[in-house]
Structure 1
Amino acid sequence: MSSESDQQHESGPVSRSDKTRDNAGSRAARLAADTAACVRFFSRLPLPRLNTLDDPAAAPDFSRIARAAPLAGVVIALPAAALGMLLAYSALPGLAVAAMVAGLLATTTGALHEDGLSDVADGFFGGATRDRRLEIMKDSRIGAFGALALIVGVVLRIALLSALWQRFSPADAALLFLASEAVSRALLVWQWQCRPLARPDGLAARFGKPTAETLRQTSIATLPFLIAPLLLLPLPALILALLLAGGTALLTGRLALQKIGGATGDVLGAVQQISGLGFLVGMLMVP
C-alpha cells in the first residue's frame, strides 16, 4: 500500500506538469494558426498549413484572430525589413533603399492598405453625403483626392524610411521599422473594435468584429515589439511616436464616424497607413 501510494503521489505533480505543457502548447498552436490566418488575409504571402488548428480554406474569424494582427504585421514586413537591412550595407543611396523597401512591402500586401487610404480620401472629400461617400469608396477608379493621398503617403514613407536607415544601424533600423508595422496593426484593431460599422455587409463586418477581450490580447501581443524602440530610442522619441500613431488613428476613426457613420475595410486600411507613418514621424522628430 505504501509503495502504491508513493507512486500515485509522485505521478500527481508529473501529470499536472504535463497538463500545463499541453495547455501551453495548445495556446501556442492556436496563436500560430491565428497569425497565419491574419497573414493570409492581409498579404499575398503563400503560407502553408502550420498545424491542425490552421485551416487555410476557412473564412477568418476576426472576433478572435485579430489578436494576432501585430504578429502578422511583423511577418508581412519581414521581407521588406530584411531587404532594407541588406541593401543598407551597399553603396546605394538611402532614398533608393527606402523606395525598394516601401515597394516590396506594398507588393507583399497587394497594396491592400494603400488602396484603403486612397478610397477613404476620395470618398471623404469627394462626396457631399454619407451615401455618396460610401458609393465613391466602393468605386475601383481612383480620383484626385485618392491619388494625392497615395503620392503624399508613399513619398513620406520613403523619406522616413531613408532617414531611419541613415540614422540607425541596418539591424536597428529594421527592428524599428517592424515595430511601426506591429503598432499600426494594433491600432487598426483598436479602431475596428471601438467604432460602429458603416456597412453591415462590408469587409469590416463580414468576418467578425474584434471583441474587447481580443483588443486586450492585441495590446499584449504588441508589447514585445516595443522593446527595440525602448532600447534604441530616447524616451521622448518613443512617447512621441506612440502619441502620434495613436492620435492619428483616433482622428481617422473619428473622421470616419463623422463622414460615413463608422468604420469600413477601407477606413481600417487608412488607419494602418496613417498611424504607421505617425509612428515613424515621432521616432525621427527627436534628435
Structure 2
Amino acid sequence: MKKILLSRSFFIAEILLILALFGIWFSATLPGFYNKINAVGYAFCHQFKERSFLIDDMQFAFCHRCTGQLLGIFFAWMWQIPLGKYRKVFSFPKLVFIIFSVLFFLIDVINGTILFNFFPDKSFYEPSAVIRFISGLFVGTSCSFLIFPIFNNVFWNQGEVTVQPVRTKWLLFGLFSSEFLVLFLLFSKNQVILTIIDAVAVFTAILFLGLLYSILILLLIRLEIQFSSLWEGKNVLLAGIIVAIIQILIISTIRFRLTGVWYWAVIQSIALLFE
C-alpha cells in the first residue's frame, strides 16, 4: 500500500483525477467566476448575503465570520513558514491566545445568532461585520497555530524544536499587521482587491481541508515522520486535497438536490422570519 501510494504512477493518476474533478465542478456549477468560487463556500457556509462582504452586487463565497476564519488560517500559515519544521504544539502564550479566541468567538456567535435575534434587549452589543470578521480571524489564527506544528510532527522526519524569541516576536508582529491590513482592505470597495481576498479564502478552505486529510492519511497508513521535503510527500498531500475536493462536491451536490438553488434556501427563509 505504501509503495503504491508513493509511486510515480499514483502521482500521475492523482493529477488526472484532480483535473477531472475540477472539470466536473466547472461543468456542474453556474457560469461566471464568482459563481464558481461561491459554489465552494456553499459546501461550508450559510452564505447569508446580509452577513457577507460584497463585490459590487456579488457576495463573497463565505460570510464575514467564515472569511475571517479562513484568512486567519491563511496568514498564520504563511507567517509560520519561516519557523521551518517547528514542532511545539502548545506553549503558554499560545494557549492563552487560543482560549481567548475561542471564548470571543463563542460570545460573538451566541450574541449575534441567539440573543440579538430572539432576545435583543439582552444582547451584549449590536453585531457588525467587523466584529464577526475579527472573531473568525482569531479562531482561524488559533486553528493554524495548532495544525501547522501537528503537521510538522506527522510529516517531517526531522525538525527544529525551538525558535529564537526575537524572531518569533517579529513573526507575530507581521502576522497581526497583515491580518488587520486585510480587514482595512475589505472595506476598500476595490473590486480587484476584494476578488483576490475572496479567492484566497476559497483556496484556503480547499487546501486546509486537504491538509487535515493528509495528516489523517499519514496516520492511517503509518507513513508519519517519513519525509525530508514536500516533494517527497507530494502524493500524500495530493491525496488529501483529492479527498477534500470530493467531500466538497458531495456536500454541494446533496444540498443542491435538496434545495434546488445555489444558496441555503431553507435557512434563509427561516432567517426572514426574524427580520
TM-score range, shorter chain: under 0.3
Give TM-score, length-normalised by structure 1: 0.26
TM-score scaled by structure 2? Answer: 0.26
Q: Which has the larger radius of gyration?
A: 1
